[in-house]
Structure 1
Amino acid sequence: MSSLAEAVLALGYGLASALVPIVNAEAYAVVAGHRGGHALVAVLALALGQTAGKLLLFEAARRGTGRLAQRLAHRSRSGRAAAAGARWAGRTQRWLSRRRSALPTVLVSATVGVPPLAVVSLAAGTAGLRHWEFAVACLLGRVFRFALLVLPATLAYGVFHK
């Protein structure tokens, strides 16, 4: 497969995996490493696709600030669950509204996956984090995550295909 085809495929897969939870970008990264060849291209394109998808979530949350929380609270069957959800949302939003804690949280989430990046993307959008700051932190974390996943597979491919 050419590097351009690999880039387009990985970019699309990254975008899809950012929006559809059952599409697994990490599995794609490992497979790309096993194929060898254009693993670096796959890592970068996959990270760009994921970042673009998370920016869509970020922007959706920013434009619909408050609506999601209202819908979730309204659909909740018990007042206790609604209260717990409201407390969690408030804490997360306060944490992400502080510049000192917002960017490290996004970076850790994008790298490690805890807290889930989809949740952080939505919360960061409602907390007023700047687009470019979120995008840079997300992209750096995703590149690092995918590179760590691809490296062992690429090394194994090199050892067994000499």
Structure 2
Amino acid sequence: MSGVVEAAAALGYGFASALVPVVNAEAYAVVAGHSGGYAVIAVIALAVGQTAGKLLLFEAARRGTGRLARRLARRSRSGRVAARTARWAEPVRRWLSHRRTGLPTVLLSALVGVPPLALVSIAAGTAGLRHWEFAIACLLGRVVRFAIVALPAALA
């Protein structure tokens, strides 16, 4: 496969894997590592695609924050669900709203996968983290993660 085709395939697969949990980007990175010559291109394109998909989740959460709160309040007749949600959501939002705690959390999530990056993306969007800072931390973590996953296959 040529480098352009490999990059386009990895970009699309990365984007799909960011939105559909059963599409596994790490498995694609291993396969790309086996392919040899274009492994670096595939890893970077896969990370860019994943970051674009996570940015979509981030922006959707940022723009829909008020709607989600209103919908949860309407569904909760007794207010217990809203109280329970507020009890855990507000500390998480405060944690992610600060640069010194939010950016390392995004980077760690993108690198290790704990906490799940999809949840961190949504929470960071509601916390008001800057989208370009989120994107850089996410991209950096994803590139390193996919490179680590693809490296053994490339060396084999």
TM-score normalised over the length of structure 1: 0.89
How far, CA to CA, are the matches of 2:17 and 2:73 in structure 1?
27
What per-residue deviation string (whole Å, max 9, x for no partner) do you get for residues 52-110 of structure 1? Answer: 01111111111111322443455569865553332221111010011110100000010
Q: Counterpart of 2:143 in 1: which secondary structure? A: helix
Instruction: Name the counterpart of 2:58.
Output: 58
Equivalent residue, structure 1, for 2:127? 127
Q: Which runs of 4+ in 1 moved over 4 A?
A: 72-82
- CA deviations on 1:18-68 (whole Å, 9 max, x unpaired) are 111111111111111122221100100000000001111111111111322
Tell me if 1:49 matches 2:49: yes
Question: Deviation of residue 13 (structure 1)?
Answer: 0.3
Decide whether the 8 Å contact of 1:73 with 1:85 is kept in 2: no
Output the CA distance in 1 between the equivalents of 2:108 and 2:82.
28
Alpha-carbon distance between aligned partners in 1 of 2:22 and 2:76, rounded to the nearest angstrom: 25
- Distance (Å, rounded) in 2 between the aligned partners of 1:122 and 1:72: 16
Measured at CA, do residues 43 and 72 of structure 1 come closer, stay the same or move farther in structure 2, by a change above 3 Å? farther
- TM-score between the two structures when normalised by the length of structure 2: 0.92
Q: CA deviation at 1:129?
A: 0.8
Distance 2:54 2:78 in 1: 31
Q: 1:147 matched to which residue of 2?
A: 147
Q: What runs of 5+ residues in structure 2 fail to find an aligned partner?
A: none
SS of equivalent residue, structure 1 residue 66: helix
Q: Structure 1: any 5+ residue segments left out of the alignment?
A: 157-162
Q: Which residue of 2 is the match for residue 107 of structure 1?
A: 107
**Structure 2 matches for 1:10-49, cutoff 5 A?**
10-49=10-49
CA RMSD of aligned residues (A): 1.7
